[in-house]
């Protein structure tokens, strides 16, 4: 139980609805989107940077650990408290102001608690958007803390690339506010401090406001499902399409047969787009887009795509290509995650590689899995264009190994070892660390970098902040 | 004089030609591209990361301050020693290996001593390039240390955006090597350490190798000189062109009448492109490009540009637009710097603003300059598309103020004060800090950030490294 005088102090800062202490009120904040569940001492819901600063200062002076929580859509237990009941949640869900669109600068200044969908809804009339495309609907602060990437990374990059400024509160006795919010596109007057708070799971400070780069909203889109002639030719296919389509290319997503079959089996609204219903071993969803409306004299985008694909079919790089409605193709792509989750016990990895290594890793794992862990289904898919792989393993619910934690641990350790040590990959491409990846951070981060991280943490936010120990 | 035993130790590490001590050999390394001139104890020229590590370790153990020097093309005295004769130069000019192109990953691993022009020469056969467009021809390490931007920032971003990995040597007693060279596009497993070494003038460590993102080389280009109806409508013009041309738009450069007149007067090879030779008050060089060769059925790029400009002329946003040979237009743009330098005593600033503030700043300065510093000519030009302004002031050589350091200081202080304090701009957009901007760093960096920088410096490179004190 938190001391009543502390709660009184916080209530004076946060006002009505700003402090939740009852179990029923806390509950929605205590469970994460997928695996995690904890217990919070209380939930603080500041509405401004100034309130965050005062809340943090109060908690740090009293030694209360704070877990910043944004949209709570992450999957690595980065935004929920542990089971101790001593950690408190600092929720950004009321910190949705300011909202200031700067059309000339093509940027927006927004509160870190604003939802991605709400941001884009407000920008649509100006034909602008924040170009991070995700299945979930997070709030901005969490997107920054995890440096999310998503499906259009190939064209627009990640949150890091699109962040022009931040306001951050440090976990010290003063709740020091760092104003890094200039919104300048070019500025080299010292270390680029905002980088420190992007992708570090809220350990170095709480992001309260941000200045984001915006992009012209696509006005024309065409998409195709591609069947490569051979899985090993996928990197060549990517290079060829980049050379032929340049900045038109806005997505290049890979889908394994098992992942597509799971989606088609478990998501009834989907239509099987393949001729005769025969799902290929591997397919690519390629999307092209333009940010202007169709113009007289301009070749339609679907015709451009068809012409490029015809050449790739001729050359034998592709064995099939279906140009069709983008919505239908994305519906299949977006259903993969749900389909895989419903087909058994899911053991999921968010890996990344150099782009040329993705299919090599996949081939290697298919062979090795059959030997070492027979009967486990690989349902991988991912962002081939940027090297990301959602490497999903499914254990049949009727298999006793589905409920064996030692088995899962052995399997996880082995996959990480192959991905990181043998293929030079990342154990967390776009989900960041969280408590779930804490062990991998300790295992795969050089001692020198862990030493630096600890010193940087002490220099910025010496108090107990965040679910992760860097 | 450096102790002979130290020189013997270094000679053993660096081999023939790796250590220069004679005054004549040192001289080319002791002067910078524009203003600076110093004296070095010696010049060390390692050929590999291992040699850099040993050199740094030796120097740090003996307390010898090192100034990393790359192409030495910077203009802020960041790569030359001071006048004391006690600082040594660590030159990257022999560190040109490795060179490993990864076509599938669209990246290259290169030695930090490779020149930009040589890198792009080696990539041309693969229709790839490193998309930082500069007037100078620096080596890669210096581009990283200054985070250069250049004229195509609008389309491709800066060095930071295009750096996928680094190898860095820290200035400690061991010459610790940090391998941050994974080359992954998505990786969120801790702080993104490479960010710390980008744009920090070599203070935190010496970059020895890098993994760089490459882009498809443009195969079609068209350009136009635009005369805006009013200077205050330039931000609207930029927004309109971004909406109409999206990712085609690869440059949007502003040129003042005075800067163009100086170039035309002093660079005899230039042709005046304006009708009747009447130079407008302000012109924009707009460039569009595509990365694929012309295709059947595709509207030519110049026709696309003409159509968009016709609409802007109709709407009254533009008063004139000349579509023509891109080379000729870029020749004018690239001659501005030289022309301005030749027209008198140059007092140059590398500022940046939110894009909407550029023309507002310009108008404000024209009025104020006439009052406070009459007779000084403003010859500004810059990268309107990303907010950068090369704000150049020219004092006639016959004006006694041209040789008065106190006058120059007063003028500089005032310009910085207006740019930074009144307009929220940056005192160094793309030239970084260097000894030349050290005073501005101290003046305009919050105490809290200076405290953090000092702690980060102590944690990474506690030894004397770099021309700048962060």
d(Cα B320, Cα B240) in Å, to the nearest integer? 16
| A90 within 8 A of A211, measured Cβ to Cβ | no
Same domain, yes or no: B331 and B373: no
Domain of A402, CATH number, reads 3.30.70.2740
Residue B449 lies in a domain: no
Q: A207 in helix, strand or coil? A: strand
Same domain, yes or no: B103 and B204: yes
> Average of pLDDT values for B180-187?
94
Smallest Cα–Cα separation from B145: which of B466, B469, B470?
Answer: B466
Residue among B156, B190, B214, B301 with most chain A CBs within 10 A, to mutate: B190
Measured in degrees and rounded to the nearest 5, phi and psi for residue B64 equal -90, 125
- Answer whether B185 sits within 8 Å of A146, measured CB to CB: no
CA B30 from centre of chain = 20
d(Cα A85, Cα B202) in Å, to the nearest integer? 46
DSSP structure string for A246-298: GGGEEEEEEEEHHHHHHHHHH-TT----SGGG---SEEEEEEEEESS---TTP
Place of tokens 């709740």: A175
Residue A457 lies in a domain: no
Chain A residue numbers touching B295 (CB-CB < 8 A): 299, 304, 307
- Answer whether A186 sits within 8 Å of B460, measured CB to CB: no
Q: Which of residues 438-457 of B touch A (CB under 8 A)?
A: 440-441, 444-446, 448-449, 452-453, 455-456
Same domain, yes or no: B135 and B152: yes
DSSP, res A115: B
Chain A residue numbers touching B184 (CB-CB < 8 A): 352-354, 387, 425-426, 429
Place of tokens 């108090």: A463
- CB of B106 within 8 Å of any CB in chain A? yes
Alpha helices by DSSP H, listed for B23-74, are 23-30, 49-61
Measured in degrees and rounded to the nearest 5, phi and psi for residue B395 equal -105, 130
Sign of CA dihedral A333, A337, A341, A344: positive
Same domain, yes or no: B310 and B230: yes
Write the Ramachandran bin of A106: left for phi over 0, alpha for psi from -120 to 50, otherwise beta.
left
Same domain, yes or no: B208 and B275: no
Sign of CA dihedral B79, B85, B91, B94: positive
CA distances A308 to A302, B104, B296, Å, are: 10, 19, 12
pLDDT value of position A325: 86
Chain B residue numbers touching A453 (CB-CB < 8 A): 190-191
Summary mean pLDDT of chain B: 96
User: What confidence category does residue B182 fall into, taking pLDDT thresholds of 50, 70 and 90?
Assistant: confident
Q: B415 in helix, strand or coil? A: helix
Q: For residue A299, count CB atoms less than 10 angstroms from its CB and return exposed for 0-12, middle for 13-18, buried for 19 or more.
A: middle
Residue A68 lies in a domain: yes
- 10-residue stretch averages of pLDDT, chain A, 470 residues long: 90 96 97 88 98 98 97 93 97 98 98 98 98 94 96 96 98 98 94 97 97 97 96 94 95 97 95 92 97 91 95 96 91 95 96 97 96 96 96 97 96 98 97 94 96 97 96
Same domain, yes or no: B327 and B350: no
Give me the residue from A176, A182, A356 closest to B448, CB to CB.
Answer: A176
- Answer whether A383 sits within 8 Å of B186, measured CB to CB: yes
Tokens found for residue A420: 């990181």
d(Cα A273, Cα A255) in Å, to the nearest integer? 13
Q: Which of residues 10-69 of A touch B (CB under 8 A)?
A: none
The enclosing H or E element of B113 equals none
Domain of A137, CATH number, reads 3.30.465.10
Q: Which of residues 117-136 of A touch B (CB under 8 A)?
A: 127
At which of B216, B244, B266 does a domain end?
A: B216
Chain A residue with Cα closest to B435: A189
CA distances B162 to A213, A470, B116, B149, Å, are: 17, 26, 14, 11
| B43 within 8 A of B89, measured Cβ to Cβ | yes
Cα atoms in the Cβ-side hemisphere of radius 13 Å centred on B157: 18
DSSP, res B139: B
pLDDT, tens digit, 9 for 90 and up, residues A303-343:
999 999 999 999 999 999 999 888 989 999 999 999 999 99
d(Cα B256, Cα B273) in Å, to the nearest integer? 15
Tokens found for residue B65: 């301050």
Of chain A, the end-to-end C-alpha distance in Å amounts to 27
Residue A271 lies in a domain: yes
Give me the residue from A103, A190, A429 closest to B186, CB to CB.
Answer: A429
The enclosing H or E element of A50 equals helix A49-61
Tokens found for residue B165: 């990995």
**CA of B215 to nearest chain A CA: how many angstroms apart?**
9
Chain A residue with Cα closest to B191: A200
ipTM of the complex: 0.97
Residue B314 lies in a domain: yes
- Answer whether A433 sits within 8 Å of B195, measured CB to CB: no
Q: Which of residues 141-180 of B touch A (CB under 8 A)?
A: 146-147, 149, 153, 157-158, 160-161, 176, 178-179
- Cross-strand pairs, B179: B167
Domain of B329, CATH number, reads 3.30.70.2190
d(Cα A8, Cα A12) in Å, to the nearest integer? 6
Same domain, yes or no: A244 and A328: yes
pLDDT value of position B1: 61
d(Cα B249, Cα A328) in Å, to the nearest integer? 31
pLDDT, tens digit, 9 for 90 and up, residues B217-265:
999 999 999 999 999 999 999 999 999 999 999 999 999 999 999 999 9
pLDDT value of position A1: 62
**Domain region containing A20:** 4-91
CA B229 from centre of chain = 31
Q: Is the confidence at residue B290, as pLDDT, over 90?
A: yes
Measured in degrees and rounded to the nearest 5, phi and psi for residue B315 equal -75, -15
- Answer whether B199 sits within 8 Å of A188, measured CB to CB: yes
Q: Give me the number of domains chain B comprises.
A: 4
At which of A184, A216, A248 does a domain end?
A: A216
- Please state whether beta strands B128-129 and A163-169 pair in parallel, antiparallel, or not at all (unpaired): unpaired
Chain B residue with Cα closest to A238: B104
- CB of A254 within 8 Å of any CB in chain B? no
At which of A286, A301, A336 does a domain end?
A: A336
Q: Which of residues 187-226 of B touch A (CB under 8 A)?
A: 187-193, 195-196, 198-200, 204, 216
CA distances B197 to A293, B100, B308, Å, are: 41, 22, 41
**CA of B1 to nearest chain A CA: how many angstroms apart?**
33
| B201 within 8 A of B466, measured Cβ to Cβ | yes
Domain of B39, CATH number, reads 3.30.43.10
Place of tokens 């006005």: A219
Residue A362 lies in a domain: yes
Residue among B108, B163, B189, B422 with most chain A CBs within 10 A, to mutate: B189
Chain B residue with Cα closest to A199: B188
- Answer whether B437 sits within 8 Å of A386, measured CB to CB: no
| A362 within 8 A of A231, measured Cβ to Cβ | yes
Q: What's this model's pTM, rounded to 2 decimal places?
A: 0.97
Q: A457 in helix, strand or coil? A: helix
Same domain, yes or no: B356 and B297: no
The enclosing H or E element of A141 equals helix A140-146
Q: A238 in helix, strand or coil? A: helix
d(Cα B52, Cα B44) in Å, to the nearest integer? 9
Chain B residue with Cα closest to A432: B188
d(Cα A172, Cα A178) in Å, to the nearest integer? 12
Chain B residue numbers touching A176 (CB-CB < 8 A): 448
**CA of B178 to nearest chain A CA: how many angstroms apart?**
8
Tokens found for residue A67: 């877990």
- Answer whether A246 sits within 8 Å of B216, measured CB to CB: yes
Tokens found for residue A288: 């092209």
- CB of A352 within 8 Å of any CB in chain B? yes
Q: For residue B367, count CB atoms less than 10 angstroms from its CB and return exposed for 0-12, middle for 13-18, buried for 19 or more.
A: exposed
User: What confidence category does residue B33 fall into, taking pLDDT thresholds of 50, 70 and 90?
Assistant: confident
Same domain, yes or no: A55 and A112: no
pLDDT value of position A343: 95
| B301 within 8 A of B248, measured Cβ to Cβ | yes
Residue B248 lies in a domain: yes
Tokens found for residue B469: 């004190």
Give me the residue from A195, A356, A383 closest to B192, CB to CB.
Answer: A195
d(Cα A304, Cα A325) in Å, to the nearest integer? 15
Give me the residue from A149, A243, A455 closest to B186, CB to CB.
Answer: A149
CA A258 from centre of chain = 23
Residue among A126, A189, A236, A444 with most chain B CBs within 10 A, to mutate: A189
- Answer whether B246 sits within 8 Å of A185, measured CB to CB: no
Same domain, yes or no: A266 and A207: no
Same domain, yes or no: B189 and B270: no
Chain B residue numbers touching A197 (CB-CB < 8 A): none
Smallest Cα–Cα separation from A432: which of B190, B75, B384, B197?
Answer: B190
Helices first, then strands: H and E counts in chain A: 14, 19
Chain B residue with Cα closest to A170: B448
The enclosing H or E element of B170 equals none
| B256 within 8 A of B365, measured Cβ to Cβ | no
- CB of A238 within 8 Å of any CB in chain B? yes
pLDDT, tens digit, 9 for 90 and up, residues B2-17:
889 999 999 999 998 9
Same domain, yes or no: A87 and A104: no
Q: Is the confidence at residue B145, as pLDDT, over 80?
A: yes
- Answer whether A186 sits within 8 Å of B432, measured CB to CB: no
d(Cα B425, Cα B360) in Å, to the nearest integer? 12
pLDDT, tens digit, 9 for 90 and up, residues B323-368:
988 898 999 999 999 999 999 999 999 999 999 999 999 999 999 9
Residue B468 lies in a domain: no
**CA of B320 to nearest chain A CA: how many angstroms apart?**
22
Q: How many residues does this entry show for chain A?
A: 470
Q: What per-residue string of b and e applies to B447-460 under the rule 16 or more CB within 10 Å gives b? A: ebbeebbeebbebb
Residue among B168, B170, B186, B228 with most chain A CBs within 10 A, to mutate: B186
Chain B residue with Cα closest to A182: B424
Tokens found for residue A303: 């015709």
Chain A residue with Cα closest to B441: A189
Sign of CA dihedral B217, B220, B225, B231: negative
pLDDT, tens digit, 9 for 90 and up, residues B254-270:
999 999 999 999 999 99
pLDDT value of position A297: 86
- Cross-strand pairs, B287: B223, B251
């Amino acid at each position: 139980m938190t001391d009543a005088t502390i709660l009184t102090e916080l209530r004076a800062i946060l006002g009505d609805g700003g402090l939740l202490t009852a179990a029923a009120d806390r509950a929605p904040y205590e469970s994460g989107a997928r695996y995690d569940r904890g217990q919070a001492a209380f939930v603080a819901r500041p509405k401004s940077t100034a309130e965050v600063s005062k809340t943090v200062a109060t908690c740090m002076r009293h030694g209360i650990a704070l877990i910043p929580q944004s949209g709570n859509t992450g999957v690595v237990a980065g935004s929920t408290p542990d089971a101790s009941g001593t950690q408190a949640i600092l929720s950004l869900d009321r910190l949705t102001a300011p909202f200031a669109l700067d059309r000339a600068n093509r940027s927006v200044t927004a509160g870190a608690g604003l939802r991605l969908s709400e941001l884009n809804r407000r920008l649509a009339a100006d034909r602008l958007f924040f170009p991070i495309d995700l299945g979930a609907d997070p709030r901005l602060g969490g997107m920054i803390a995890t440096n999310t990437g998503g499906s259009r990374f190939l064209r627009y990059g990640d949150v890091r690339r699109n962040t022009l400024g931040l306001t951050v509160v440090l976990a010290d006795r003063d709740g020091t506010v760092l104003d890094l919010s200039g919104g300048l596109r070019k500025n080299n007057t010292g270390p680029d401090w905002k980088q420190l708070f992007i992708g570090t799971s809220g350990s170095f400070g709480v992001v309260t406001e941000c200045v984001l780069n915006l992009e012209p909203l696509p006005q024309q889109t065409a998409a195709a499902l591609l069947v490569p002639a051979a899985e090993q030719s996928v990197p060549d296919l990517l290079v060829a399409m980049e050379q032929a389509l340049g900045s038109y290319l806005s997505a290049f997503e890979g889908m394994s047969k098992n992942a597509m079959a799971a989606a088609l089996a478990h998501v009834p609204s989907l239509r099987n787009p393949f001729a005769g219903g025969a799902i290929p071993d591997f397919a690519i969803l390629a999307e092209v887009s333009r940010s202007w409306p169709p113009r007289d004299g301009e070749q339609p985008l679907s015709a451009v795509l068809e012409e490029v694909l015809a050449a790739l079919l001729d050359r034998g790089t592709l064995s099939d290509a279906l140009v069709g409605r983008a919505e239908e193709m994305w519906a299949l792509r977006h259903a993969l995650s749900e389909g895989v989750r419903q087909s058994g016990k899911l053991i999921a990895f968010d890996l990344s590689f150099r782009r040329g290594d993705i299919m090599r890793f996949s081939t290697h794992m298919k062979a090795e899995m059959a030997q070492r862990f027979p009967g486990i289904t690989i349902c991988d898919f991912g962002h081939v264009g940027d090297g990301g792989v959602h490497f999903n393993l499914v254990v049949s619910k009727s298999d006793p190994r589905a409920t064996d934690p030692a088995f899962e641990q052995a399997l996880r350790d082995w996959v990480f070892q192959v991905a990181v040590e043998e293929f030079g990959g990342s154990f967390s491409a776009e989900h960041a660390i969280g408590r779930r990846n804490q062990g991998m951070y300790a295992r795969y981060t050089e001692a020198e970098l862990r030493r630096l991280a600890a010193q940087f943490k002490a220099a910025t936010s010496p108090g107990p902040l965040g679910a992760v120990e860097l």
